[in-house]
């Protein structure tokens, strides 16, 4: 008799990697990996209040999938979403994709909607003895310009958002009975991924290709690691991490892959925050980096994307570069006047017309224009999990696939 497939709960992340994970677990065609899947997120799907892409809506009618619009900051709601459906076993795997990814939110917002929310979810999961609890964390750290940081590297969060995302890992790691695995990814890209550094780079590269002008970066090339990872690998590695943890339990998993999760916040920032670990407590939890093998740098990424659209990638001279560093906040709107204006022209000339609901706008906010250095080693996940990358290279073909799918969905201008 075949073993029962797991019951799975995806929490949050519909605006990040949640829809891709759900589609991988319950594909529109082919055999599901799960017996039952529940998704609980703050977003509505009918009508949609976030971008869903073309594939995710196809699976919402599958009888083994239960989508719940839910405010996970409310404890009673958390209890409710963990309750198994009638006739179903309790959830085996929980994927925590919650957290506010935007950098323009104040600390108070991050504390409530990233740290406190995830900790409440972790406590509930531990109480219910889920076999695997996999937390996805985004690349909000500063690494060496050359990259190659392993899981034990002494890294710092790049800003307040990063500090509270990291504090979330400490809070989860401190829950001893939680079968926690942390997956720390690079800059994610792929079909229907409309957020993050790679997505905006593709959109802006298209603008410069349309204008027949070279795209110039504000920051000098150097090594400037911005390691990438395809969304197919994110979803596959999340599943691999859950499968790895399930038969082990937390204590054994810590022996095999545990890393210290140190305090990296401001001591004053946590003084009045309830349920935050003391700064001198350092919990341990299994942690894996996930990036592809490209060792992507800013120059490599820029050259790959611009070449798809028939233009080139270059850097401003030293004087312009230096001035931009001091006055970048004042230049955001001037820079975007050109980008957004040309993008709107492209939209207006598209044949067939672009749908009015396109999530793409080629606007680069201050965070997009700032320099970010993220370079991780992926050796550990390959060694411990035996993980094999599905998309080992950041390539022009992958960029074309993204654009072609957006064109087919009529959210990308066909000019």
- CA 301 from chain center: how many Å? 18
CA distance 201 to 213: 15
CA distance 57 to 168: 30
7-191+227-295+375-393, CATH topology level: Rossmann fold (3.40.50)
pTM of the model: 0.96
Domain ranges of the chain: 7-191+227-295+375-393, 197-224+297-369
CA distance 169 to 332: 33
State the angle between helix axes of 117-127 and 75-82 in degrees (0 to 180), rounded to the nearest 10: 40
Q: Which residue carries 């793409």 as its tokens?
A: 360
Q: Which residue carries 């980008």 as its tokens?
A: 339
Residue 389, phi-psi category: left (phi > 0), alpha (psi -120 to 50), beta (remainder): beta
Block means of pLDDT (10 residues each) for the chain, length 415 residues?
87 96 96 98 96 96 97 97 96 98 90 96 98 97 90 94 96 97 98 95 96 85 88 98 98 98 90 88 97 94 96 71 61 85 95 92 89 95 98 97 97 96
Is the alpha carbon torsion for 103, 106, 110, 112 positive or negative?
negative
* pLDDT at residue number 319: 42
* pLDDT at residue number 316: 65
CA distance 244 to 188: 23
| DSSP-derived secondary structure for 367-404 | HHHS---B-B--HHHHHHH----SS-S--HHHHHHHHH
**3-class DSSP state of 289:** strand
Around Cβ 351, how many Cβ atoms within 10 Å? Answer: 8
Give strand pairing partners of 221. Answer: none
Buried b (16+ CB within 10 A) or exposed e, 371-394: bbbbbbbbebbeebbebebebeeb
* pLDDT at residue number 324: 53
CA distance 222 to 220: 6
* pLDDT at residue number 103: 86
């Amino acid at each position: 008799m075949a073993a029962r497939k797991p019951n799975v709960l995806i929490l949050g992340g519909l605006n990040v990697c949640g829809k891709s994970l759900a589609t991988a677990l319950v594909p529109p065609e082919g055999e599901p990996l799960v017996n039952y899947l529940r998704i609980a997120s703050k977003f509505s799907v009918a009508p949609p209040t976030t971008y869903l892409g073309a594939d995710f809506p196809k699976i919402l009618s599958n009888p083994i999938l239960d989508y719940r619009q839910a405010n996970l900051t409310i404890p009673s709601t958390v209890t409710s979403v963990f309750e198994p459906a009638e006739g179903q076993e309790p959830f085996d795997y929980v994927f925590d994709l919650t957290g506010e990814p935007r950098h323009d939110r104040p600390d108070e917002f991050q504390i409530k909607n990233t740290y406190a929310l995830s900790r409440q979810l972790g406590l509930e999961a531990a109480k219910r003895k889920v076999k695997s609890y996999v937390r996805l964390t985004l690349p909000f750290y500063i690494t060496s310009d050359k990259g190659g940081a392993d899981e034990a590297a002494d890294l710092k969060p790049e800003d307040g958002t990063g500090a509270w995302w990291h504090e979330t890992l400490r809070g989860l790691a401190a829950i001893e009975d939680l079968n926690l695995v942390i997956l720390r990814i690079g800059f994610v890209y792929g079909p229907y991924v409309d957020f993050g550094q790679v997505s905006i780079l593709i959109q802006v590269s298209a603008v410069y290709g349309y204008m027949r002008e070279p795209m110039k970066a504000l920051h000098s090339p150097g090594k400037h690691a911005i390691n990438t990872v395809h969304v197919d690998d994110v979803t596959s590695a999340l599943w691999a991490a859950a499968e790895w943890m399930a038969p082990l339990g937390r204590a054994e998993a810590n022996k095999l892959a545990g890393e210290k999760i140190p305090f990296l916040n401001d001591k004053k920032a946590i003084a009045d925050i309830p349920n935050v670990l003391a700064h001198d407590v350092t919990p341990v939890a299994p942690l894996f980096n996930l990036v592809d093998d490209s060792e992507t740098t800013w120059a490599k990424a820029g050259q790959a994307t611009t070449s798809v659209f028939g233009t080139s990638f270059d850097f401003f001279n030293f004087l312009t570069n230096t001035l931009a560093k001091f006055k970048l906040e004042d230049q955001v709107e001037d820079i975007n006047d050109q980008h957004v204006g040309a993008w709107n022209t492209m939209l207006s000339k598209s044949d067939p017309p672009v749908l009015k609901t396109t999530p793409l706008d080629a606007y680069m906010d201050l965070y997009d224009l700032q320099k970010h250095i993220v370079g991780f080693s992926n050796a550990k996940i390959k060694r411990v999990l035996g993980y094999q990358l599905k998309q080992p290279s950041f390539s022009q073909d992958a960029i074309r696939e993204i654009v072609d799918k957006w064109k087919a969905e009529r959210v990308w201008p066909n000019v």
